Structure 1
Amino acid sequence: MTEDEIVEAIRVLPNLLPPASPEAISQAEEAIGHPLPPLLRRLYLEIANGGFGPRGGILGVAGSEYEHHFEVADILDVDQSTRDDWPGMLWLFDWGAGIWSVMDSRDPAGPMWIWDPNFDEIEYPDESLLIPQNMTLAEWLTESLNGNLEKAFETSGLIAVSERRAVFDIGPDELEYASPEPLTDDEIIDAISRLHPLIPPAPLLAVEEAERVIGFDFPPLLRRIYLEVSNGGVGPGRSILGVPITGTVQSADIVEFYRIWTSGSDPFVPPGFIWLCDWGNAIWSLVDCRDPSGPMWIWDPMGPYRRPDQISSEEEKSVDHPELLAQNMTLAEWLTEWLKGSFTKDFKPSGLRAVAAHRGGLHRPFALG
């Protein structure tokens, strides 16, 4: 979206706060030491003094009637405690749990950053508390307006979003890919059984309880993996999730994510879709349990992220980028790809869209009902 389009899209939102006064903008800019990025300045003066953006909206400047955050009144209130250590960085939006979206006001484009004191120091040993979001303010607001930023945050987190936008997607014509001959279920079970180390299989009662909660039987191949081979921990990406087992501690399982993102009042995907494998980069592989073959789907709310020269004029006009799209593989084919080396450690999760295109073209978004 252009800046004009962003302004007009926010202008028609309901229950907007009154705009900021020119005096409040001047006061903020004097305290910061330079002008606000033009887009933010324009939104404050023309549209609303905060309260737009994800959830309850971003903070405003002095005089804002913003009520989403009860500890700080405006960007200068937060800025007081951070100005010496991070000059020019403005804490704009609080996601909760100590996580903020932060804007570098020294650049007219308003590059966005992440403040996250909760990130995994083992997984991200070289990261500081302030991490680039790899988005400008205009891009951040665009993704907020279409709802994709919040979906990606809910299902993965802002650091994963940053990783998603660190490199452009590979185009289907750039992908060196040949579909391998699919293995049979027995061959897949045998191949996985030879891997080490493996998590112990799940008890039958645990698998049956997970199926009861989800409301669908697992595809037979997935059921066999859980019961005969390993309760998760195998497969590409960060490996498939297992079922919960009473009396054990698991970092995550398919039932937990099904309850959060599929069975709630505002589901992200249709009933029967289970969140099977987290690739990182705000991308997941899901399996459709309504079909015994287990069709695989891609959850990618922040994609595609294409180089400008790869985007056709028709794509540029379209805002219909499905966050849920068919992988054009069954579970057996997906596991075959992994076992035969298609999904190596060098495979970028954003390449899943290109693989889907090679295997039959991208499907339209799946209707939730």
Structure 2
Amino acid sequence: MVEEQNMNSPFTREPINETTRRYLVNIGGEGRLDGGQSLRPRKDDGFPLRGDTSFPLWERILAWCRYANWFGPDYHKGRYAGHYYMDGHLQSRVCLHNPREGFEFAPVTEQELLHVEEAFGFVHPPLLRDLYLHIANGGFGPGTGLIGIPGGFCYWLWRDLRYDRLMKEHLLEKCTPIHGEGFCERTWPELFAPIPFDLEAYERSHHQPNRVSLVRGEWPTCFLNISESEGDGSYYVHAKTGHVYLVDNSFDKAPLRDGQEVVYELHRQADSLEEWFERWLNGELKDLFFHENDI
């Protein structure tokens, strides 16, 4: 059914070719989905539309999925348990979808997208709208897969204004009976009692830095979780500026900002979602980490 909805592209789905097949890594064994699997764009995979800007970027991304016969994320974690959305709530389930059989989630409608934007007071960046409207409601692309709007792919979701209320309900239901009242608020203050951080204003006043530090409780407004990295951290796009960041908290010793302990560091990955996805499609995407001297 999803395949039929995506046939508005001039590119037909082709069987995976031998050049591409050698990049398919089945950690769990050939043909199995209980281990990690990976298939991502490579510079020498023979994809004929690489760099052909006469086609919209979303159409080239869809064409690559069909060319590779891979409709999942760069890194598919196998039969894992993750978040999914049902009946207005976040729940957990084991992922059983086979990314060789098509996209797991259908594209959204313009009305569904507008409903989310009006409810939360922001507009998705243009490319993100195209991906949701023309390809699928998440579940494909860089890292562990593009996060969709509610009703789509959200297995590896963390902080996202589209899901914050649902995530809080989920954590309270899961953690309070075990750890008691107040545990969630103490553990995740940036979710339960966030201090709004105006990332756009900070960028302007600090001459567009490559690294931004957040202290306990701070979280940027209009910050959308787009995927989890295969390494450390998660990818975010700022809905107003379109800048893409990797949010990291894996440092061994927390640095200080104005005498306060830093909890998260935001590393600029690209100036736009288009730039980030072009690098991915060209097989050139890698996580960028910046140190104090690089800022």
Normalising by structure 2, we get a TM-score of: 0.45
Greater RCO (CA < 8 Å, at least 6 residues apart): 2
